[in-house]
């Protein structure tokens, strides 16, 4: 029986199976939610996939800004592919179990992707700072070698921390019901199933969360303070507008991402119910990855022009060409 597991026996934790209970409180809405989430998932794949292809193929999108935009789109694709298929499975076939290994892998990828996105958004803010505040040295500073190094660092930054916390959490014994009151494997709902003292673990998670979320956010804020100071000194209104317009899309994405992840990960546990956390989690797992390509494509003339060139190539020459 689960209640008889010894706290130090970690083999039971890894052999345990879990059931995701995402949106179990609204069973009548499952068909509607599955259709809605599938449509959003499709738009996410199409939008981010298009950003990746455009920035790879179009010569006009070779600037560092678009290189990092491609990395952001790839992170969003990985994030969505990790979460949404399992979410749809939970909605369409409720009660299906997943192994501890599958749950651990999903949590590992979620933590890694969130961390990578935090660092990528920081690098993108620094790129805008260099472009606006150091325009004469932009090409020298943002060299291809540095861009690739920064991208690799962003991708790998979350792996060690995510691996440590995933292994640490799944080394605890899980007791009682095996239902996870969420639509993906996350730290907080899994902790509610642990029958051991997790205070040290929770303290370390809080410290890591503050470092991963708040430190990049402070760096982004510092970068944009420098950008704003430079823009305000520009004599031309057109120059000020052009400089700010290049930052607008990134700022909107930062607000969307940090506004939702901050609410989820930095609020006290007692201040929200599992149901409300699921709704807020949808913002950064489904809504933000879907909106990011739209934000960048609709507000960026070069991206729209590249999309137009691709469409023209697909149509081919006219009958009189």
- Parallel, antiparallel or unpaired: strands 17-20 and 97-99: antiparallel
pLDDT digits (tens, 9 = 90+) for 169-193: 999 998 867 888 889 999 988 988 9
Q: Is the dihedral of CA 176, 97, 76, 141 positive or negative?
A: positive
Question: CA geometry: angle at 167 spanning 163 and 173, to 5°?
Answer: 160
**Is 207 a residue whose pLDDT tops 70?**
yes
Number of CB atoms found within 10 A of residue 275's CB: 14
Q: Please state, rounded to an integer, the average pLDDT across all residues of the chain.
A: 85
* 12 has pLDDT over 70: no
Report pLDDT for 246: 78
SS3 content of the chain, % helix, strand, coil (to 5): 80, 5, 20
> Could you report the per-residue pLDDT of 121-159, keeping only the tens digit for each?
999 999 999 999 999 999 899 999 999 999 999 999 889
Residue 173, helix vs strand vs coil? coil
Cβ atoms of 106 and 151 closer than 8 Å = no
* Structure letter (DSSP) for residue 210: I
The domain segmentation of the chain, as residue ranges, is 10-304
Nearest-angstrom CA–CA distance, 100 and 12: 10
The DSSP line for 218-273 is HHHHHHHHHHHHHHHT-S-HHHHHHHHHHHHHHHHHHHHHHHHHHHHHHS-GGGS-
Which has the minimum average pLDDT: 68-72, 169-173, 284-288? 284-288
Residue with tokens 């009682």: 176
Q: What is the spatial distance between Cα 83 and Cα 77, in angstroms, rounded to a whole number?
A: 10
| pLDDT for residue 274 | 67
The total of other beta-carbon atoms located within 10 Å of residue 126's CB is 19
Structure confidence at residue 3 as a pLDDT band (50, 70, 90): very low
Domain 10-304: CATH superfamily is Rhodopsin 7-helix transmembrane proteins (1.20.1070.10)
């Amino acid at each position: 029986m689960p209640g008889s597991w010894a706290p130090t026996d970690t083999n039971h934790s890894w052999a345990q199976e879990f059931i995701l209970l995402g949106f179990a409180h609204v069973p009548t809405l499952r068909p509607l939610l599955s259709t809605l989430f599938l449509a959003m998932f499709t738009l996410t794949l199409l939008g981010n996939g298009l950003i990746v292809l455009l920035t790879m193929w179009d010569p006009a999108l070779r600037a560092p800004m678009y290189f990092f935009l491609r990395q952001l789109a790839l992170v969003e694709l990985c994030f969505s592919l990790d979460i949404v298929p399992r979410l749809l499975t939970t909605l369409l076939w409720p009660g299906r179990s997943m192994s501890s290994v599958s749950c651990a892998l999903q949590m590992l990828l979620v933590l890694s992707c969130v961390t990578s996105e935090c660092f990528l958004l920081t690098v993108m803010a620094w790129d805008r700072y260099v472009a606006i505040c150091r325009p004469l040295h932009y090409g020298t500073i943002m060299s291809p070698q540095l861009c690739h190094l920064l991208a690799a660092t962003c991708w790998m930054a979350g792996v060690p921390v995510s691996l440590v916390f995933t292994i640490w959490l799944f080394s605890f014994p899980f007791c009682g019901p095996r239902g996870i009151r969420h639509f993906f494997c996350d730290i907080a709902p899994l902790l509610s199933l642990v029958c051991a003292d997790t205070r040290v673990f929770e303290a370390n998670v809080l410290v890591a969360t503050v470092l991963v979320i708040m430190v990049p956010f402070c760096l982004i804020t510092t970068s944009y303070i420098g950008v704003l100071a430079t823009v305000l000194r520009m004599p031309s209104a057109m120059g000020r507008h052009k400089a700010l317009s290049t930052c607008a899309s990134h700022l909107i994405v930062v607000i969307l991402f940090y506004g939702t992840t901050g609410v989820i990960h930095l609020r006290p546990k007692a201040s929200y119910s599992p149901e409300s956390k699921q709704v807020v989690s949808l913002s950064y797992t489904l809504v933000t990855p879907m909106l990011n390509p739209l934000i960048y494509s609709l507000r960026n003339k070069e991206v729209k022009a590249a999309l137009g060139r691709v469409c023209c190539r697909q149509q081919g020459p006219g009958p009189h060409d």
